[in-house]
Copies of this chain bind each other. A is one copy, B any other.
Amino acid sequence: MSQDQDNLGKIRQRIDALDGQIMELISQRADCAQEVARIKRDEDPEAEFYRPDREAQVLRRIHSENPGPLDAEEMARLFREIMSACLALEQQLEVAYLGPEGTFTQAAALKHFGHSVQTRAMTAIEEVFREVESGSAHYGVVPIENSTEGVVTHTLDRFMQSPLVICGEVELRIHHQLLSHATDLGDIQKVYSHQQSLAQCREWLDSRLSQAERLSLASNAEAAKQAAKDPQSAAIASAAAAQLYGLNILASNIEDSPDNTTRFLVIGPRASGPSGQDKTSLLISAHNRPGSLHGLLSPFAAHDVSLTRIESRPSHCVNWEYVFFIDIEGHCQDAKVAAALSELRAQADLVRVLGSYPKAVL
């Protein structure tokens, strides 16, 4: 025991010494960040200090070189906070997101920017765009592919009338929790959730809660609200919703597929530079000629550019009937992407680069 106490004392001394060194190095890092800011400000008094490409590179390196025992996501989270603190020395970033508080979009904003920024909840995607367009916020975070709603078409549509660009994407692993005031699964008569969440947990519900009726509501937050009113009911929703509505988490991570993610976009006034692993989102339209889509896509094939997503949306403008939102691999400054885009421009009525940005660092 006394030997153990002795050992504990020694390890604590070692931790104290490590803490001193960590603090010293973080402080040197903050000095460097101030030096970078000074140089940038000399070049351009309006310079932006937030560089999504550079931050993505730092986080990727942390991810790949993390030696353990902390897992790579936790280590990346700590570096996100260190970068956030260093950046706040130079510039207090204001980030608008689709609220209310406690939603995945807020979690995405904090995951991307760290806790040293000011976040502000907006009540609609439209408002997030307006806050950033008017300069009231530096950046905005909006959902684009939401596992409970599919593709968020309102975000896509809003890009048609906005000068903003996409300067980042965030992916969150989404876990579903079974929330209730009840403490026993056997007491649950009804399960509320958005239909997609019910679908994502179907196998679990079949095996563990087969007696309960399933009712689909407009959102998981609404489901949690309903479940809070009736102790014989439960909701499938997030841990954040459990907090918000004071419900117990009766069962955790009940989604059938363990890799359920959802995707958000960071929007801002300025394009991001290449980070080495980037995506480009495009808005393309052409007259509604048969075969036009196939024709539009051929430059990508010709230049070996991979498409990762394509969505068609009815246009709200008069001159064309459809617009396509296309995500491709690479940055618009990459040679083969630039070549494909230049061919595409010769064929399409409209080609807008919505943004080239670093791929999400999970």
Residues in chain A within 8 A of chain B (CB atoms) = 1, 4, 7-8, 11-12, 14-16, 18-36, 39-40, 42-43, 54, 58, 61-62, 65-70, 74-75, 77-79, 81-82, 85-86, 88-89, 99-102, 106, 115-116, 118-123, 127, 239-240, 242-246, 249
Contact = CB atoms under 8 A, between A and B. Distances in A.
Given A20-B65, A119-B243, 13 more contacts: A1-B43, A19-B29, A21-B25, A22-B25, A26-B78, A74-B85, A74-B116, A78-B82, A101-B102, A101-B240, A101-B244, A120-B249, A121-B244
9 contacts: A11-B39, A18-B28, A19-B61, A20-B65, A23-B66, A30-B69, A77-B81, A101-B102, A102-B102
A219 to B, nearest CB: 16
Given A30-B69, A32-B14, A54-B12, A242 B120 contact: yes
For this chain, the copies found in one complex come to 2
A168 to B, nearest CB: 19
Contact of A243 (B20, B66, B99): B99
A43 B102 CA distance: 41
The secondary structure that dominates the A interface is helix
Contacts of A88: 74
A316 to B, nearest CB: 26
Given A78-B85, A240-B101, A22 B30 contact: no
A27 B36 CA distance: 27
Contacts of A100: 243-246
Contacts of A116: 74
B101 A27 contact: no
Contacts of A61: 16, 19
A131 to B, nearest CB: 10
B82 A43 contact: no
Contact of A27 (B70, B99, B242): B70
B11 A32 contact: yes
Nearest to A249: B120
A139 to B, nearest CB: 16
Contacts of A119: 243
B23 A29 contact: no
A16 B64 CA distance: 14
Contacts of A27: 66-70, 75
A287 to B, nearest CB: 41
Nearest to A80: B81
Give the 4 A-B CB pairs with smallest separation, nearest first: A121-B243, A123-B246, A101-B243, A18-B29
A7 B249 CA distance: 53
Given A70-B86, A101-B102, A23 B244 contact: no
A135 B99 CA distance: 33
A2 to B, nearest CB: 11
Contacts of A11: 32, 35-36, 39
A242 B137 CA distance: 15
Nearest to A14: B32
